[in-house]
Amino acid sequence: MSTAVNLAPGLPDGLWIKHPVLMASGTFGYGTEYDGLVDLSSIGGIVSKAVAAEPRLGNVTPRVFETPAGMLNSIGLQGIGVEAVIRKKAPIWENIGVPVIVNVVGESVDDFCVVAERLEGVPGVAGIELNVSCPNVEGGMLFGSEPGSAARLTAAVRRRFSQPIMVKLTPNTNDIVAVALAVEDAGADSICVANTFIGMSIDIKKRRPVFAAGSAGLSGPAIRPMALRLVYEVAKFVTVPVVGCGGIATTDDALEFFLAGATAIQVGTMTFTEPRTAERIAAGVQKYLDANHLGSIAELTGAANPEFAGRSQTVAR
Amino acid sequence: MSSGQFVMARCGTSYDPLLRRALSLHHQVRTADGSSTAGFLFGMGKTWADWLSTRRPGDEIDLIGPLGHGFRRDKGARHLLLIANGLGVAPLVSLAEEGVASGANVVLIVDSATKDGLYPTKRLPAEVEIVALTSDGSSGRQGSALDAFAELQPWADQIFLSGGRDLIEGVRSTLKRAVSGQPVQAIIEERMACGIGACLGCVVDTKNGRVASCVEGPVFDLRSLSA
């Protein structure tokens, strides 16, 4: 029995993770902030905080706000920039014990390409996650809001980066399946479904939005049914691995996502509440496989989805 | 723990509330065998607070901490001036206890809208001199903490603040006009999600850049903060 999965079956070396559970971008810093609270050897890998070509200050506070079974965030992609990441973070990642996937952001296709080129071959970097929830400075639309722009971005990065590329889709789009197919076609090794949903809150005492930017990203258990349904739909069409993300808090939640068609899942917001969530889910999934006499995650992936399109690509190592 | 530090407390077992709550050290008792008891103060009325208030002696509470940097008393500072708005008094009670134990003279200025919001003075060491003010004059002097601060500022060796932006700005202005510029530390409160420096929700602008107040603070040297 093996809980290992391959997030890049299309590449010769693939991207193998020991457990099908990753720490989601933006919730686990650069991987060391939870030292002593999380046992990294018990999870599959980490997706780093968003990395841009230049350092970014991000938004003013307040940046976080709790909502029923969830939270809104408007961090604004504060970050130290790719040069500082290569100098100060990648050396740590070489010895951290699990694969680190770098989340990449930008305001233009060129921005993303600069980061991808710089990260190619850097020891400690196992792959990148393309954050297409960013607004394109040309036109203001999110890169991931329509298939053409998402595909152009993915193709441009694919030409400059030979290691695994996971494209993290935004749910704030009319046709996420079309976007998913477009990025798969453009060279994505796997697809993460999905990033936060746009929402807001208003301060009734001050009579203005809580966040300076107005809207913010909603995450946490409240969005789980919506994220799950998007995984289910996307998994009917794409053949690359789908990585499920959105409000996963327990082993049962994770199992829903595997059954819907996910090959792996990410845990984000729930880590704030219970740092050991990802470890507990990894252990819970292992126990479930044992108890149900399943040899691998592949036997679970898409089992509740009659139209699941993915190839069986997880082979016990 | 030291005064000014905090813990992230799980205040329930469900998704309401979802996130942990930051609680500053309020009171600490060290026993002869080396163990200690920490006390936390919070206002009632929200789901998380009501849940905490109904825990019984012997119940376990899930805490992450101690977190952040606490207040730093200068060696040789004999006159400590502590100023709080309302419930901001929580971490200053622990600081007042430490100050008194080290032999310093401690004055605590605390204000509230009405007398119901004033901290019960009998819970402070007798040696602490308390200046209580209410906006409506229902108890103590009528006025705000800033009014009392202006009078007492020349006496202080070191100043510690725990309150809103108005208090911090008011103290800044008073010190600009004053002859002496004593060291001032302020505990800065920003909404938190993780409490440990991963999410960057609680940032504060300092001369060293935009930093997570849960890691670089929550106590900051007032002069290190950007205007």
Mutate to test the interface with A, among B11, B61, B200, B213 (most CBs of A within 10 A): B200
Mutate to test the interface with A, among B19, B189, B202, B213 (most CBs of A within 10 A): B19
Using CA atoms, how far apart are residues B56 and B42, in angstroms rounded to an integer? Answer: 16
Mind telling me the catalytic residues of A? 134
Using CA atoms, how far apart are residues B69 and B199, in angstroms rounded to an integer? Answer: 18
pLDDT of residue A317: 37
CA angle A10, A6, A292 (to 5 degrees): 135
Report the complex ipTM: 0.95
pTM for the structure as a whole: 0.96
- Nearest-Cα distance to chain B for A276, in Å, is 12
pLDDT in tens, chain A (317 residues): 899 999 999 999 999 999 999 999 999 999 999 999 999 999 999 999 999 999 999 999 999 999 999 999 999 999 999 999 999 999 999 999 999 999 999 999 999 999 999 999 999 999 999 999 988 888 888 999 999 999 999 999 999 999 999 999 999 999 999 999 999 999 999 999 999 999 999 999 999 999 999 999 999 999 999 999 999 999 999 999 999 999 999 999 999 999 999 999 999 999 999 999 999 999 999 999 999 999 999 999 999 999 999 975 444 33
Chain A CB contacts of B199 below 8 Å: 26-27, 29, 64, 73, 75, 272
Is the dihedral angle over the CA atoms A171, A175, A178, A182 positive or is it negative?
Answer: negative
Q: Do A64 and B199 touch (CB under 8 A)?
A: yes
Interface check for B195 against chain A (CB to CB < 8 A): the answer is yes
Chain B CB contacts of A64 below 8 Å: 191-193, 199, 201-202
Interface A:B, Cβ pairs < 8 A:
88
Q: Do A57 and B193 touch (CB under 8 A)?
A: no
Q: Do A220 and B15 touch (CB under 8 A)?
A: yes
Q: Are B42 and B31 in contact (CB under 8 A)?
A: no
Q: CB-CB: which of B16, B64, B191 is closest to A65?
A: B191
The average confidence (pLDDT) of chain B is 94
- Nearest-Cα distance to chain B for A192, in Å, is 20
Q: Which residue of A has its CA nearest to B15?
A: A69
Using CA atoms, how far apart are residues A287 and B19, in angstroms rounded to an integer? Answer: 28
Number of Cβ within a 10 Å radius of residue B192: 25
Q: CB-CB: which of B17, B64, B210 is closest to A66?
A: B17
Q: Are A127 and A163 in contact (CB under 8 A)?
A: yes
Interface check for A73 against chain B (CB to CB < 8 A): the answer is yes
Q: Which of A 202-231 lie inside 8 A of B, CB atoms?
A: 220-222
Q: Which residue of B has its CA nearest to A27?
A: B199
Q: List, as one string, the DSSP characters of chain B.
A: --TT-EEEE---SSSSS-S-EEEE--EEEE-TTS-EEEE----SSSHHHHHHHT--TT----EEEEESB---PPTT--EEEEEEEGGGHHHHHHHHHHHHHTT-EEEEEEEESSGGGS--GGGS-TTSEEEEEETT-SSSEES-HHHHHHHHGGG-SEEEEES-HHHHHHHHHHHHHSS----EEEE-----SSSSSSS--SEEEETTEEEEHHHH-BEEEGGGB--
Q: CB-CB: which of A27, A61, A220 is closest to B198?
A: A27
Chain A CB contacts of B201 below 8 Å: 61-64, 73, 75
Interface check for B203 against chain A (CB to CB < 8 A): the answer is yes
Chain B CB contacts of A66 below 8 Å: 17-19
Chain segment A263-317, per-residue pLDDT in tens: 999 999 999 999 999 999 999 999 999 999 999 999 999 999 999 999 754 443 3
